[in-house]
Structure 1
Amino acid sequence: METRRLGRSGLFVPVLGLGTATFAGKNDFFKEWGDTDVQGARRMIDISLDAGANLFDSADVYSDGAAEEVLGEALKGRRDRAIVSTKGGLPFVSDPADAGSSRRWLTKAVEGSLRRLRTDHIDLYQLHAFDAFTPVEETLETLDSFVRQGKIRYIGVSNYAGWQLMRMIGTAENRGLVRPVANQAYYSLIGRDFEWELMPLGLDQEMGTLVWSPLGWGRLTGAVRRDAPLPETSRLHRTADMSPHVDQERLYDVVDVLLEVAEEAGKSVPQVAINWLTGRPTVAGVMIGARTERQLRDNLGAVGWSLTADQIGRLDEASASQAPYPASVYSIQDGFRRVSPPLFG
């Protein structure tokens, strides 16, 4: 499998990695994602490693830590073959008072993840959300100390706004502290907001993007179609209100084109949707998730081939959305485009 450099670092990651939100399923929210046990996780990891997808991404809040425990147990005896990434900073369902990225909580969170993952180091540790109550300096100093101790190799963020990420980068550089190299962000054919601010920032600052929910919260599997009822088995019945907003007509327009392209290419709808993402600027890796072996194998088949320029153009057109200000004036007014032409597309 193709590997790509993660931002301005020496770490190379596979273009597809396995997300572990489907592991354990120990509370009401994550039960809807999946409940893969240790035996099932071992099988998923076997398949992923055989395919060259050796990046496994988790978070301490996934099933209140149980997903990390399942991943750690399933990797026993082959930790050296894996790149392990996890996230911290969101409140646990069982203990919502503890959250954020203060020195106190971050120290507790990192040590907890190390213990649950059964490892002496985390290859990539990501802040799961921006903490508006903790000085960025305190957070970076804490992470820097873990890097110096060898407990964390690289750091990143997830779900940050552009100004929040830029503030972290600037503070790290000004103070000589460890600099984030990765931004894990929501990005899909029905969720392209990432492109307006975070993608140009990534290009300018050499940040590698790891994509979460590449199938738009399960909407781009091929099961959701125009003039057809939502399958009873879809978790969207219970979790749609927790996902980023999606305009239904735009969703159907995208799915219509996905179905056409999938038939032309002889691929599945998810494979086309994921393949499109792998060709986007700054994307180093796409985190795929699966509740079954069949789903995993299908998602792994999203790479090793290419969409045609015409197919990419049709997908681009169907999924395009109105740019927010100020990106809107740069995209439609010639005067603005002359001084700051588009960085991509």
Structure 2
Amino acid sequence: MEYRTVGKTGVQVSNLCFGTMSFGGNADEETSKAMYKRCREAGINFFDTADVYSGGRSEEILGECIAHERENIVLTTKVFWNTSADVNGKGLSRKHMMQGVEASLRRLKTDYIDFYFVHDFDERTPMEETLRALDDLQRQGKILYPAVSNWAAWQITKALGISAKEQLARFELIQPMYNLVKRQAEVEILPLAASEQMGVISYSPLGAGLLTGKYGVDKRPEQGRLVQDKRYTDRYLDEMNFVVADRFNAHAAERGISPATLAVAWVMSNPAITAPIIGARNLTQLEDSLAAADVDMTPEWRNEISSLSVTPQPATDRGETLLPNWT
């Protein structure tokens, strides 16, 4: 396992981050703890969760896992989505964030969170309100650094400007979606992160299972997130994505490597990515993703894989304008 610095923070993290969305849900407590142990054996020190994963159970199980070695772990969690039926139980208001962080700290059995993510954009709450609350939480020692997930590049840039002007703690880590069929982050988010020296931990490197070898134009399993969960069918149910999956599966077979391993390795090879977030429901799935740490992907190989999908247009939408060499 290699270790990389998160932006300008000086914090060293493994180049794979383990996401615990399955803890307490698709993975029971015993399996969850076994996967945590395997991640630590592999050298992973970076773990991602959220207050809404499995209704808070993910945080509770992860808190039990890290209790004996908290200082050796870099921990993230998130705030935004509904955690109660209360009218104020959602969003990025000071009220919800202050209540949310206290609840997460209790479930995680810790007195601080390394990177605290705003989980989505809140159109109802002024950015200044949210950023001031994050700054206060940092000053109180409850979080070390603010972080942001699922915001557009212009929203992140606006927040960075406010933080600089008002001398508030700025976002130091971005969490966007990024995989071979979802490459929009290459257009503005990854260049922004590189320019502003921000860390990036991207999620969904396997495309919700699309890039694991289970899917193709004429290959659809009866069960799985892509056929059972509307969030993922809406996100990935485009015929071109299945064409890319077929091409990718064939390429992986030619190379004699698991498609899941190769999909994670491709994301890891982007120089703007600090660590892709891997997830699993069991130890077998986990091993395929962990194997990506041992893949020696050259720039030429990365380019070959990138050519299997569509490179997004540059931000100016002028085809003659070259994107940065992310591929």
> Is the structural similarity TM-score above 0.5?
yes
Alignment-mate amino acid for residue 190 of structure 2: M
Structure 2 unaligned spans of 5+: none
266, 274, 286: which one aligns with 1:276: 266
2:294 counterpart SS class: coil
> Within 5 Å, which residues of 2 pair with 1:50-199?
50-92=41-83, 94-95=85-86, 97-199=88-190
1:153 counterpart SS class: strand
Residues 322 and 178 of structure 1, relative CA distance in 2, 3 Å threshold: closer
2:47 counterpart SS class: strand
244, 248, 252: which one aligns with 1:254: 244
Do 1:258 and 1:272's aligned partners in 2 also have CA atoms closer than 8 Å? no
Do 1:64 and 1:93's aligned partners in 2 also have CA atoms closer than 8 Å? no
1:327 counterpart SS class: coil
Is 1:227 the counterpart of 2:218? The answer is: yes
Distance in 2 of aligned mates of 1:173 and 1:144: 12
How much does 1:70 deviate?
A: 1.4
Do 1:85 and 1:122's aligned partners in 2 also have CA atoms closer than 8 Å? yes
Alignment-mate amino acid for residue 221 of structure 2: P
- What TM-score do you get using the length of structure 2 for normalisation? 0.93
How much does 1:155 deviate?
A: 1.4
Residues 264 and 155 of structure 1, relative CA distance in 2, 3 Å threshold: same
Residues 126 and 238 of structure 1, relative CA distance in 2, 3 Å threshold: same
- The equivalent residue for 1:304 is 294
Distance in 1 of aligned mates of 2:17 and 2:266: 16
Distance in 1 of aligned mates of 2:33 and 2:3: 23
Alignment-mate amino acid for residue 343 of structure 1: P
Alignment-mate amino acid for residue 327 of structure 1: T
CA distances 1:41-63 after superposition (whole Å, capped 9, x unpaired)? 22111100111111110001112
2:176 counterpart SS class: strand
Alignment-mate amino acid for residue 224 of structure 1: Y
Do 1:254 and 1:315's aligned partners in 2 also have CA atoms closer than 8 Å? no
Deviates more, 1:177-186 or 1:240-249: 240-249
2:182 counterpart SS class: coil
1:23 counterpart SS class: coil
Distance in 2 of aligned mates of 1:243 and 1:208: 29
Distance in 2 of aligned mates of 1:319 and 1:328: 18
- The equivalent residue for 1:28 is none
Alignment-mate amino acid for residue 138 of structure 2: V
Alignment-mate amino acid for residue 55 of structure 2: D
- The equivalent residue for 1:29 is none
Is 1:36 the counterpart of 2:28? The answer is: yes
Alignment-mate amino acid for residue 104 of structure 1: K
CA distances 1:263-322 after superposition (whole Å, capped 9, x unpaired)? 343321011111010111310011100001111111100112223444322221111245
Q: How many residues align?
A: 326
- The equivalent residue for 2:316 is 327
- The equivalent residue for 1:313 is 303
How much does 1:258 deviate?
A: 2.2
Distance in 2 of aligned mates of 1:234 and 1:242: 10
Deviates more, 1:218-227 or 1:177-186: 218-227
- What TM-score do you get using the length of structure 1 for normalisation? 0.89
Distance in 1 of aligned mates of 2:179 and 2:234: 11
Deviates more, 1:156-165 or 1:247-256: 247-256
CA distances 1:208-233 after superposition (whole Å, capped 9, x unpaired)? 111111111111111002322x2223
Distance in 1 of aligned mates of 2:236 and 2:221: 18
184, 192, 203: which one aligns with 2:194: 203
